[in-house]
Structure 1
Amino acid sequence: MTSNDGGAASTAELLTATIELGDALRELIETSVTTTAAAGEVGAAAELVRAATARISGAPRQATQLPRLDDPSEGRRVFNPVTGIAHPLAPPLIVRQEDGGVVAEITLGLAYEGPPTFVHGGMSALFMDQMLGSAAGAAGLWGMTAHLELDYRGPLPLQTALVLRARVESQEGRKAFISGTIALASAPEKVLVEARGLFVMPRPEKQAAYFGAVTDASGRHAPPRRPGDATALRLA
């Protein structure tokens, strides 16, 4: 991401620190929804969190500016809320190519709870949207979600290994029809969540309208232009 050794070292150091912060925040989020500490301890923790927030809150980036650690040309989006290694809400999901599609495994804690002991249904939709997009990227396609539907065949248990899969079923011009599933890693053939989606490559004028103002961290115009811009994919 940079052409000089000093800059590369600085970027690597920042990436390491940012990943550590993401990991610490994930741990904090999970602890915050499972703690049985007394009110005084919880209040003291809140003050510590506010102090930490103040340390890094100066000069936030604008929504139209990509994070300086992102490299869309390589599919690196460190703050993606599903696959971002530095995003505290992301498990994070590590997606890889396998058997003509993509696959990922996750174990979700109580931070993702909907019905007691089970994953929130909206989280299933979030993860499936990402997986279907990743399947499109793995197939050399690029598009935005035009339609997504899910069938919930059974609840997803928390603190249990899950396997997520997705693959492109067909393509018609700018349209890609993609399917996906979630199952227990211990019983991958018994589908608990099934998803079907339509992803559409926006026409050039739509792409310009949606992403024309997007820049990289240096201010250079950097709209999405290839499948890797939208997904984080680890090759098997």
Structure 2
Amino acid sequence: MLDFPVENLSAEDVERLRGIYEPLTKSVRELIDATIRTEMDGDAVAAAKAEIDAATARLRGRQLEGPFGVRFGSDGDQMPWGNVVIGMRNPVAPPLSFIPSEEGGVSADFTLGAAYEGPPGHVHGGVAALILDHALGDAASSPDKPRLTGTITIRYRRMTPLGDLHVEAAIVRTEGVKTFAAGRLADAHGVTVEAEGVFIQPRWARD
């Protein structure tokens, strides 16, 4: 059992929590993939289900009320560990790790497997839109000036194959509380999906 709350943590405590929960999340990601692709017989599947149910019951012995939200370390760093795109504790998240670019945007290299399939062998269009929405929002925002999606336009150039992918996004211009951003998703052969969006600084975050 943890002996401190998951908030206002020192860098040391954040790493301690990461060391506890990140391996669990990685194992559940593997479980999701294995669940989709297994061809084991009924007895093996039933045995696995019993083990999974037991593990779930153990983890529910102590849990949060509602979603994880965004927690903050004592140095102000955000901990969006439940986020569906970047969440370290969310096994549904790929997850993505965005890197700031020299031009002021962001980019990430990542892999999507069987859990993200839409058309056979390809990424679901909604997943591509989800990732681009997050990338554009990340590029448009800063720690002291969050900006939320107002509108977003997605252009599907061709199907995106499952596997290794790259996403990048950058600010196009800013007009008052509105920031315009653009980005793209690509595989090894080039761009598969493009996006443009308007991101708005919410009233509670304005000076």
SS of residue in 1 equivalent to 2:58? helix
Could you tell me how far apart the structure 2 residues matched to 1:110 and 1:84 are? 19
Any conservation in 1 of the 2:67–2:82 contact (CA below 8 Å)? no
1:53 Cα deviation (Å)? 0.7
Match of 2:54 among 51, 56, 67: 51
Q: Normalising by the residue count of structure 2, what TM-score does the alignment of the two structures yield?
A: 0.86
C-alpha offsets along residues 56-85 of structure 1, whole Å, 9 cap, x if unaligned? Answer: 113432337747xx3273132122111112
Q: Any gaps of 5 or more consecutive residues in structure 2?
A: 1-7
C-alpha offsets along residues 151-204 of structure 1, whole Å, 9 cap, x if unaligned? Answer: 101111112x211010111111111111110011x33xx321001111111223
Any conservation in 1 of the 2:69–2:82 contact (CA below 8 Å)? no
Partner of 2:195: 195
1:17 Cα deviation (Å)? 1.5
Could you tell me how far apart the structure 2 residues matched to 1:45 and 1:168 are? 47
Could you tell me how far apart the structure 2 residues matched to 1:192 and 1:14 are? 37
SS of residue in 1 equivalent to 2:174? strand
Could you tell me how far apart the structure 2 residues matched to 1:76 and 1:112 are? 24
Q: 1:41 to 1:178 in 2, by over 3 A?
A: same
Match of 2:33 among 30, 39, 53: 30
SS of residue in 1 equivalent to 2:195? strand
Any conservation in 2 of the 1:139–1:168 contact (CA below 8 Å)? no
Q: 1:139 to 1:54 in 2, by over 3 A?
A: closer
Partner of 1:114: 118
CA RMSD of aligned residues (A): 2.5
Letter in 2 for 1:15: R
Any conservation in 1 of the 2:68–2:82 contact (CA below 8 Å)? no
Q: Normalising by the residue count of structure 1, what TM-score does the alignment of the two structures yield?
A: 0.76
C-alpha offsets along residues 113-148 of structure 1, whole Å, 9 cap, x if unaligned? Answer: 011000011100110111011101259642111111
Q: Any gaps of 5 or more consecutive residues in structure 1?
A: 208-224, 227-236
Q: 1:182 to 1:46 in 2, by over 3 A?
A: same
Q: 1:31 to 1:147 in 2, by over 3 A?
A: same
Partner of 2:98: 95
Any conservation in 2 of the 1:143–1:199 contact (CA below 8 Å)? yes
